[in-house]
A and B are shown apart, each in its own frame.
Chain A
Amino acid sequence: MIARALRLVRQQVRVQFQVRLFNLYSFALYFIQPAIFSLVGMLLSRAAGNPRPDLIYTVIGSGVLGMWSGLVFSSLYDIRADRRDGTLELIVASPTSLGTVEAIRTMANVLTGLVSLLAAFIIAVLVFDYSFAGVNLAAVLVSLLVLLAGLWSLGVFLANFTVWSRLSGSYVEFLEIPVALVCGFMYPIRILPEWMQAVSTIFPIRWALEALDAALTGSHDLARLAECWGLGLLLSFLFWGVTRLLEGRVHDRIRVTGEMRSI
Chain B
Amino acid sequence: MPPLVRYARLYVIQAWYAWRSLFGWANPFSYFTSKFGFTFFSMLMFIFLGRFVGLNDPVYIVIGNILLIPAANCLSGISMTVGNERAFGAMSYLLGSPAPRTVIFFGRGLFHILDSFLTVAVGLLVAVSIFGLRFSGMNFPLALLAVLITAFTTSGLGYITGSVSLVNRDGWMITSTLSLSLYILVGANFPVSALPEWVQPVSYALPMTRGIMAARAALDGAGFGEVAGLLAGEVAVGLVYIAVGYWLFRWLERKSLVNGMLDSV
Contacts and interface: CB of A to CB of B under 8 A. Distances in A.
Contact of A36 (B34, B55, B183): B183
Interface in A136-176: 167, 170-174, 176
Given A47-B190, A173-B34, A178 B49 contact: no
A184 to B, nearest CB: 9
Interface stretch (A9-17, A74-82, A185-193, A199-207): A185-193
B45 A47 contact: no
Contacts of B42: 177
Contacts of B49: 37, 40-41, 44, 58, 186-187
Given A40-B183, A41-B53, A47-B194, A181 B45 contact: yes
A180 interface: yes
Contact of B194 (A46, A170, A187): A46
B195 A24 contact: no
Contact of B184 (A36, A173, A188): A36
Contacts of A181: 41, 44-45, 48
B172 A25 contact: yes
Interface stretch (A26-34, A125-133, A226-234): A26-34
Given A54-B53, A174-B33, A33 B180 contact: yes
Contacts of A176: 38, 41
A48 interface: yes
B259 interface: no
B189 A40 contact: yes
B54 A43 contact: no
Interface string B53-86: 1110000000000000000000000000000000
Interface centre among B29, B52, B184 (most CB of A within 10 A): B52
Contacts of A43: 184, 189-190, 194-195
B180 A167 contact: no
A13 to B, nearest CB: 24
Nearest to B177: A32
B44 A40 contact: no
Contacts of A41: 49, 53
A25 B176 CA distance: 9
A48 B49 CA distance: 11
A28 B176 contact: yes
Nearest to B170: A24
B175 to A, nearest CB: 10
B53 A53 contact: yes
Contacts of A53: 53
Contacts of A49: 54
A33 B176 CA distance: 9
B183 A170 contact: no
A170 B173 contact: no
B174 to A, nearest CB: 9
A237 interface: no
B37 interface: yes
A219 interface: no
Interface string B13-55: 0000000000000000110011011100110111011111111
B181 interface: yes
B54 A170 contact: no
25 contacts: A32-B176, A32-B177, A32-B180, A36-B180, A36-B183, A39-B184, A40-B183, A44-B53, A44-B190, A46-B194, A48-B53, A48-B54, A50-B53, A54-B52, A54-B53, A167-B29, A172-B37, A176-B38, A181-B41, A181-B44, A186-B45, A186-B52, A187-B49, A188-B52, A191-B52
Interface of A: 24-25, 27-28, 32-33, 36-37, 39-41, 43-50, 53-54, 57-58, 167, 170-174, 176-178, 180-181, 186-188, 191-192
- In the A-B complex, list the 10 residue pairs whose CB atoms are closest, starting with the nearest: A173-B37, A177-B41, A187-B52, A48-B54, A45-B53, A170-B33, A24-B170, A173-B33, A36-B180, A24-B173
Interface of B: 29-30, 33-34, 36-38, 41-42, 44-46, 48-55, 170, 172-173, 176-177, 180-181, 183-184, 189-191, 194-195
